[in-house]
Structure 1
Amino acid sequence: MSPCPEAVTAGAARRRARAVSVLGVLSLLLALTPAARADSGGLAAPAPPCAPGWLCGWTGPAYTGVVSLVAQDMPRYPETTAYVGFNDAASVWNAGRTWSADGLRRGRCVTVYNKPDYTGSRLTVRPGQGIPQLAASFGHVRSSRFHTCRLS
């Protein structure tokens, strides 16, 4: 004798609801995880980390909330969910690379601007560093440009 279709449907619905609840709790825990410590200089680093080579922006302070990533110059961030971490940015991290050449240490710095087209107030973030809380006076990130910078 097989179970009635209503019982199967109700059981499947309970399993789906339980799975959604578990995913919601895991997402919340991930968003609330305290920042780890970076290896160099004791700077607060995001946990989980920003992918190497990328600039990451979060909607919350201390690298929490929704994250967005870019790896190229952005003259303006479109008002889409893909860039909410910058349009509503509260913190940013530069996971750019570093290298040595001719006895000098260099890296891939990024300058973030509070207006489109690389205008307005600007902040430069060195590789392996971040800004855990953008100042209210800065506002949000509206454009960003990668560039080589001297680190030593």
Structure 2
Amino acid sequence: MNKFMQKQFELTRGYFIKNVEMIPENIADVQPEGFNNTIHWHIGHVLTVGEQFLLGFPHKSTHLPANYIELFGNGTKPADWKGDVPSIGELTAQLKEQLGRIKEVSDDQLDQTLEEPFMGLKTFRELAGLTLMHESNHLGEIKAMKRVVEQEKVKS
């Protein structure tokens, strides 16, 4: 991966982790009205989708438990969680570890054509750009949810 793209992942993931580490645990599992999930879910979702898009989870990557697809994949929700759910601390540590793996993806790998286009994207490099946008989008959701939950707690 070239230095420019590495820097983009460092900035995006670093900002994501910095914000996640400032989330009080007592609000991470609150699902405010008008939101489909919790902050906890969003953190696990960013981790899981990043692993899927860039590292081939669950078939080519075994760095995350297989049940993360059922917990944090598209269309999942905390109301359906069963079994062991990783803590936010565990997910945060995995996000940090994942950044190192992502930065090791070679330019040759990024330039490979996807087996099938995804959302109009044809290469893993284009998918890397989508991964950055996806992560930023979920950080916005997390920040909005945090404000809503904190306001609700002040009112009660």
TM-score (norm 1): 0.26
- Structure with greater Cα Rg: 1
TM-score (norm 2): 0.26
Q: Identify, as 1 or 2, the structure richer in strand.
A: 1
Q: Identify, as 1 or 2, the structure richer in helix.
A: 2
Higher relative contact order (CA 8 A, sep 6+): 2
